A and B are shown apart, each in its own frame.
Chain A
Amino acid sequence: MADPIDSTDTSHRRTRSSRRPGRDDVPAILVKVLLLGIVIGTAVALTPALVGEESWIFLVATWLIALVLVATYATGRALPAKYLVPGTLMLALFVVFPIALTAKTSFTNYGDGTRNDQQTTVDQIVGSSVTRADDSPQYNLTIATDGDPSSGPFTYFLVPQDDPETVYEGTEDGLEEDPGGVTVENGRVTAVDGYTILNIKQISAASDALDEIAIPTESDTFIVRDGTSEAFEGAPTLVYDADADTITDEADDVVYTVQQQGDREYFADETGKRLSDQSWTANVGTRNFNKIFTDSRISSSFIGIFIWTVVFATLSVVGTFLLGLAFAITLNDPRVRGQKIYRALLILPYAIPGFISLLLWSSFYNQDFGLINDITGLNINWFGGSFSAKVAVLLTNLWMGFPYMFLVSTGALQAIPEDLTEAARIDGASGFAGFRRITFPLLLVTVAPLLVATFAFNFNNFGAIYLLTGGGPFSPDNPTAGGTDILISYTYRLAFGAGGVQIGFAAAVSVVLFVITGVIAALQFRATRSLEDVN
């Protein structure tokens, strides 16, 4: 919109915009100002939090988006952008951003045990090592201040629970017995002359300041707050040496160094014994991808599962389409009575929430107590064998999926002009020939893209597998790959099943799956493009 007149000649602009009704309405302008104000306000309000978190990328992104929005809607320029910007932003935020984040995560070992960075982990390990001194009494604690309740300085007043007559005053200089001006009730200091006693809320609010205070005792330990009303003598047994990156246990002088174990680093002693199960997030390069392609347990199952995934998706699409189409054609014949009732009944499976019907079907297949064996008089252990479980999965998915195909086919059939089939009949192509040569090709033009979409959906139909068979049956020597597992359910088990949550690895598998599904979809769309020639 590099229209010089637009920006310079205001009178021209006014006349042009006034031609659009409602364009310059006062309420519309107010709404616009309000919304843009909210955008800017949000960005401003978020800034301190983002600066505090030091997340500069988000800060820049937030302001960039705000500026783009303001520039687009506050000025009269760039009319197409007004329509394109929301969609583009959405695409970037909800599609591109997650994909980029997934790809980024796939190069880390992020997951259970590695959720924190190393500094946080060290702080936590050392902080958790505070141990009560063997002979430490439990004190009733009162925190008071002769200054401000939020900033201090703070003084601890301690009464041993087993000796309620004694009172200690604790400051950074140490403990002092029997301070003056102290009122003790029920073994607890309740008032001190010249001091304000902090209540539970004030203690909580001042906890950061209180954590900075170390009140030493005579036995080389410190007074440790235990909640807000009690305290004990104790000290951390572990010390972190930042220069050497080691943790030393002062009780027995064992030094723990950073060591690689499995796919992550731990603090461990000379013999490899870990100090803690806590590890931290680290970049692992392409190790997650290497594991997918080189780990024998994964790669050996991968091909079989990939083939079954394709078979499952293909048979599901073909089966549901043929069944749905057959019903659609039958009910499309004007001679059928009660069309509406039949149609309503056929859509029922579609109306029941999928996960409920899947769980129900799962119980139908029970060998001894299931509906299917009961009715048919069979005694098949449906989910016990790989083949019968696959059949069961396909049958259930057929039941779940055909109503959709029925709906789609019915709509497509009704959209085919009557005169085409009539002309075909006159030319001698009646019955099946007419259907095969005229109706079906025309139908495919409409339906083919939906078939591709359904294929993609079934390719990743996690629910159908997970809720029905759980991926089983499993052979005892490989409990990670089941007989009915498709790639997505298999991935889920690898990432979240045994061994805790491995988000980094799961992200790597997702990236691989993304590529595979993308390639397949691209090939299919190329194939369906030829159908468009029919028109």
Chain B
Amino acid sequence: MRRLTRTLGPVAVAVLALTAAGCGGDSGSSSSSSSSDTSSSSPSEDTGGGDADLLVWTDSLKIDAVKQVADSFGEANGITVKVQAISEDLQGSFVTADAAGNGPDVVVGAHDWIGNLVQNGAIDPLNLTPDELSGYSEKAVQATTYDGKLYGVPYGIEALALYRNKDVVPDEPASMDDAIASGEAAVKSGKVESALNLPVGELGDAYHMEPILTSFGGYIFSYDEATGYDAQDVGIGKDGSIKAAEEISRLAKAKVLRTSISGDNSIALFTSGKAAYLISGPWALADVKKAGFDYGIQPVPGFAGQDPAQPFMGAQAFMVAANGKNKDIAQEFVNNGVNSEDAMMTLFEGTQLPPAMTAVQDQVDDPDLTVFTEAANGAAPMPAIPAMASVWEPLGKAYSAIVSGKDPVATIKSAGDTINKAIADAG
């Protein structure tokens, strides 16, 4: 199978077919278009990256910052560098392209891809010295470490925080209960339509529900310092998750959580002044700043008398492709081009993500981003193990079902069974 996908065979065959179509016309006048097709896809092993000495793939939001870092590395070393933005399904495109041998040398992506990338043999481990690693926030290193090995150099970290419309609720809540109470009061007085915008949607949203789950002692996979997340110990369906489910059910009955609020509209409803609180990440900051009211941000608090809330923490990282054409240069770029304070500063300024390098964290003077840095450092890295793919859908849908009025205990237990079975099936 792999051999079939990696060969140029299909391209060749297509080229021949196009040429054939051109020959088909007796007059030969229709052949101009087909011959131009032929020349553009001629077998020069043109893989999109041209013959750059270093090819980097990232997404369209980060390309400018990544390009700056890559260009200065290229200039310093006298090599040509090309940075490409893959706007659709960067992870999937990268896995496919790398297996076919025409992928990039370096890919910039989220740390929770690492498990899937490793099981597909798409990335190589890195060998930063312990000294170099100590320059990064502990959570960022924890996130990019998989099976005891470092697979990415992190540059940005993100986690959910609690936004508050200060025009509606001036005082910072000490707990989730306080936030919900003041939000509900604001709804009652007609100031807003929604107390707390926490995306649920019809299909559920396990990512945004994680602070509630963890505050009640629930967890998805148990975590061990040495071995990481354990796919054999699923916490969904156990005590903590049941307590969380009951609370979610109670909040749904009080109309605080509802399926009509989803990832599509939660930020927009908040910025248009229709909600007292919003749970979202740094990506909402630009919109909230433009909203035209005074806002406050704080790490998501826990429920009164319960554990602190631990949202998922995500790290953005540079990873070295396993089948890149210039692996040495890729390693050099990630080890020394990216892994430096200057580069990290550039990446921070370009992406406005809370930085992963502690030296850069200390230089950030934007109070909002400081809160997000604090939130990310207090969060738990999103599990990167492949088993996580078996969790998102069943868990999200269970949350959504509970919010729509299904029995919380039975629903969360059944979701746990489904997850365990899916993990066992996958091997």
Which residues does A use to contact B, with CB under 8 Å?
22-23, 27-28, 31-32, 34-36, 38-39, 42-43, 45-46, 49-50, 53-55, 57-58, 61-62, 65-66, 69, 72-73, 82-83, 85-86, 89-90, 93-94, 97, 101, 105, 108, 110, 112-113, 115-117, 120-121, 124, 127-128, 130, 132, 138, 199-201, 203-204, 207, 224-230, 232, 234, 261-264, 266, 276-279, 281, 363, 366-370, 381, 383-384, 469-470, 472-480, 493, 497-501
Q: How far is the CA of A476 from the CA of B396 in the complex (A)?
A: 10
CA A28 – CA B28 in complex, angstroms?
A: 6
* B265 interfacial by beta-carbon distance below 8 Å: yes
Given known A-B contacts A53-B6, A128-B149, A475 and B401 have beta carbons under 8 A apart? yes
Nearest Cβ distance between residue B84 and chain A, in whole angstroms? 19
User: Which of the residues A227, A479, A480, A497 comes within 8 Å of B332, measured between beta carbons?
Assistant: A227
- Give per-residue flags for B327-368: 1 if the beta carbon is below 8 A from chain A beta carbons, else 0: 111011111100000000000000000000000000000000
* Chain A nearest Cβ from B126, distance in angstroms: 8
Residues B26 and A368 in contact, CB atoms below 8 Å apart: no
Q: B259 interface residue, CB < 8 Å from A?
A: yes
Does B397 lie at the interface of the complex (its beta carbon under 8 Å from any beta carbon of A)? Answer: yes
Contact B397 A499 (CB under 8 A): no
Q: A93-B17, A203-B328, A278-B118 are in contact. Are A479 and B418 (CB under 8 A)?
A: yes
11 contacts between A and B (CB under 8 A): A35-B22, A54-B3, A58-B9, A61-B13, A89-B17, A94-B17, A112-B95, A204-B53, A262-B426, A276-B147, A498-B389
Measured CB to CB, the nearest residue on chain B to A359 is: B264
In the docked arrangement, what's the CA distance between A121 and B122, Å? 11
What are the residues of chain A within 8 A of B77 when measuring CB–CB?
200
CB pair B398–A65 under 8 Å, yes or no, is no
- Closest Cβ of chain A to B418, distance in Å, is 6
Write out the residue numbers on chain A whose beta carbons fall within 8 Å of the beta carbon of B79: 200-201
| Partner of B35 from A38, A66, A69 at Cβ < 8 Å | A38
Q: Chain B, interface size: which category? A: 35 or more
Contact of A121 among B26, B121, B259, B422 (CB under 8 A): B121
Interface segment among B37-45, B276-284, B291-299, B307-315: the answer is B37-45
Q: How far is the CB of B147 from chain A (nearest CB, A)?
A: 7
**Chain B, residue nearest A88 (CB):** B20
Closest 10 pairs (CB-CB, A-B): A262-B427, A58-B9, A227-B332, A31-B28, A368-B260, A277-B119, A227-B331, A86-B24, A476-B401, A113-B119
* A-B interface contact total, Cβ < 8 Å: 281
Q: B2's contact among A23, A45, A115, by CB below 8 Å, is which?
A: A115
Q: Could you say which residues of chain A place their CB within 8 Å of the CB of B92?
A: 501
Contact call B331/A228, Cβ cutoff below 8 A: yes
Q: Which A residues are in CB contact (< 8 Å) with B68? A: none
- Chain B neighbourhood of A110, CB < 8 A: 1
Chain B binding surface, main DSSP class: helix
| Given A62-B16, A120-B121, A229-B336: A277 in contact with B115 (beta carbons within 8 A) | yes
Interchain nearest-CB distance for A69 vs B (Å): 5
Indicate if the CB atoms of A115 and B260 lie closer than 8 Å: no
- Which residue in A72, A124, A225, A498 is a CB contact (below 8 Å) of B121? A124
B424 near A262 (CB under 8 angstroms)?
Answer: yes
Instruction: Say whether B398 contacts A86, CB under 8 Å.
Output: no
With A90-B17, A369-B265, A479-B398 as contacts: A82 and B2 at CB distance below 8 Å: no
Chain A residues positioned under 8 Å from B329 (CB to CB):
200-201, 204, 228
Q: Give the docked Cα–Cα distance between A234 and B149 (Å).
A: 14
- Tell me whether A35 and B394 are in contact in the complex, defined as CB-CB below 8 angstroms, given that A62-B12, A262-B425, A369-B265 are known contacts: no
Which listed residue, A46, A207, A277, A384, touches B386 by the CB 8 Å rule? A277
The docked-state distance in angstroms from the alpha carbon of A112 to that of B426 is: 10
Q: Whole-angstrom distance from the CB of A199 to the nearest CB of chain B?
A: 7
CB–CB B336/A227 < 8 A? yes
B78 interface residue, CB < 8 Å from A? yes
Report A335 CB to chain B, min CB distance, Å. Answer: 46
CA distance A128 to B147 in the complex (A): 11
B2, B261, B327, B401: the one within 8 Å of A281 (CB): B2
B1 in contact with A229 (CB, 8 Å): no
Chain A residues near B149 (CB, 8 Å)?
128
Residues A55 and B3 in contact, CB atoms below 8 Å apart: yes
Residues of chain A with a CB closer than 8 A to B142's CB: none
Are B332 and A228 in contact, CB atoms less than 8 angstroms apart?
yes
Give the most central of B26, B422, B427: most A CB within 10 Å. B427
Known: A32-B23, A116-B2, A228-B328. A368 touches B258 (CB 8 A): yes
| Cβ of B19 under 8 Å from chain A | yes
Counting chain B CB atoms within 10 Å of each CB, the highest count among A34, A227, A475 belongs to: A227
Residues of chain B with a CB closer than 8 A to A117's CB: 2
Bound CA–CA A229/B3 (angstroms): 34
Q: Are B27 and A28 in contact (CB under 8 A)?
A: yes
Q: Which residues of the partner chain B approach A200 to less than 8 Å between Cβ atoms?
A: 53, 77-79, 328-329, 332
Contact A381/B398 with A31-B31, A128-B149 known, Cβ cut-off 8 Å: no
Known: A69-B20, A199-B78, A369-B269. A42 touches B415 (CB 8 A): no
Residues of B380-427 at the interface with A, using a CB-CB cut-off of 8 Å, are 385-386, 389-390, 392-394, 397-398, 400-402, 404, 406, 410-411, 414-415, 418, 422, 424-427
B203 and A470 within 8 A (CB)? yes
